[in-house]
Chains A and B, each alone.
Chain A
C-alpha cells in the first residue's frame, strides 16, 4: 500500500468521524432536557467534529497535492480556542438571566455561593 492510499484511508475515517460527531451533537441539542446540557452537547461534540473534518481537509491537500495550507491549521487552533469560550459565555448568560436547571439536577454550587 502506498503512502497516498494510507492517507486516503485516514482522510476518509476522519471525515466520517467528524460527520458522526456533528450528528451526535445535533441529536444532543434536540434530545437533552435544559439549556446547560444542550450547550454541553453543542460546544463539545461539534468542536471535535469540525476539527476532525478540517484536519482531514489539511491531510488530503498535503498528501494529494503537496500543498501545505497553514490557514487550516490556524483555523483548527482558532476553533479549538474559541468554541469552549463561547459555550461558557452562553451558559453564563443563561444562568445570570435566571434560566432554571433541569428539575432532576442535584448540584448548583453557584447558587450557594451567591447567598
Chain B
C-alpha cells in the first residue's frame, strides 16, 4: 500500500532547516559556550537522517551529492594540516595561533586556528555517522 506522507514531509522541510541552523550555532559557539565540532556534526547528520526518513535515500543523494567516505578524509586532512601550520612556523606540532581582525561586515572578530581543527572534527563526525547509516540502510 502506498502511504501518503504529506504531513511528515512538510514538517521535515521546516524542522530540518531549524536543526541545521542550530548545529551551525553549536559548532561556532564551541570556544566560549557548550558545543563544538562533535555535537555540531552529530546534529547535522541528524538533520540528514530526518530527511532520509521522510523521503528516501535516492532523494537525499540527489539533493546532497556527497561521498561521505571522502568527507572523512577531508576532515582528517584539515585537522592534520592545522597542526602542520605550526611546524612550518618553527613551533611544536599543533601549536595554535589567534588574533583579532577587522572583517568587513562582522567588525572586530577574534579568529583562532582551533576552529579549523574543530572543522576537521565536524567533517569527520558527519562523514562517519552518514557512512554507518547509509551502509546499514542500503543492505537488503
Residues of A at under 8 Å CB distance from B?
Answer: 71, 74, 77-78, 81-82, 85, 88-89, 96
Which residues does chain A contribute within 8 Å of B8, judged by CB atoms?
85, 89
Which residues does chain B contribute within 8 Å of A77, judged by CB atoms?
18
Is B22 in contact with A74, judged by CB distance below 8 angstroms?
A: yes
Whether, in the assembled complex, B89 has its beta carbon less than 8 Å from a beta carbon of chain A, the answer is: no
Number of A-B contacts (CB under 8 A): 19
Which residues does chain B contribute within 8 Å of A82, judged by CB atoms?
11, 15
Residues of B at under 8 Å CB distance from A?
Answer: 1, 3, 7-8, 11, 14-15, 18, 22
**How far, in angstroms, from A90 to B3 measured CA to CA in the complex?**
14
Which residues does chain A contribute within 8 Å of B7, judged by CB atoms?
85, 88-89
Given known pairs A85-B8, A89-B8, the reply for A78 and B3 (CB within 8 Å) is no
**How far, in angstroms, from A71 to B18 measured CA to CA in the complex?**
11
Is A81 in contact with B22, judged by CB distance below 8 angstroms?
A: no
Is A81 in contact with B3, judged by CB distance below 8 angstroms?
A: no
Is B11 in contact with A85, judged by CB distance below 8 angstroms?
A: yes
Q: List 14 A-B contacts (CB under 8 A).
A: A71-B22, A74-B18, A74-B22, A77-B18, A78-B18, A81-B15, A82-B11, A82-B15, A85-B7, A85-B8, A85-B11, A88-B7, A89-B7, A96-B3
Which residues does chain A contribute within 8 Å of B22, judged by CB atoms?
71, 74
CB distance from B29 to the nearest CB of A (A): 10
Which residues does chain B contribute within 8 Å of A78, judged by CB atoms?
15, 18
Complex: chain A residue closest to B18, CB-CB = A78
CB distance from A93 to the nearest CB of B (A): 10
**How far, in angstroms, from A91 to B14 measured CA to CA in the complex?**
22
**How far, in angstroms, from A47 to B13 measured CA to CA in the complex?**
21
Which residues does chain A contribute within 8 Å of B1, judged by CB atoms?
96
The 9 A-B pairs of least Cβ separation, nearest first, read: A85-B11, A88-B7, A82-B15, A78-B18, A85-B7, A89-B8, A81-B15, A81-B14, A85-B8
**16 additional A-B residue pairs with CB within 8 Å, beyond A81-B15, A85-B7:** A71-B22, A74-B18, A74-B22, A77-B18, A78-B15, A81-B11, A81-B14, A82-B11, A82-B15, A85-B8, A85-B11, A88-B7, A89-B7, A89-B8, A96-B1, A96-B3
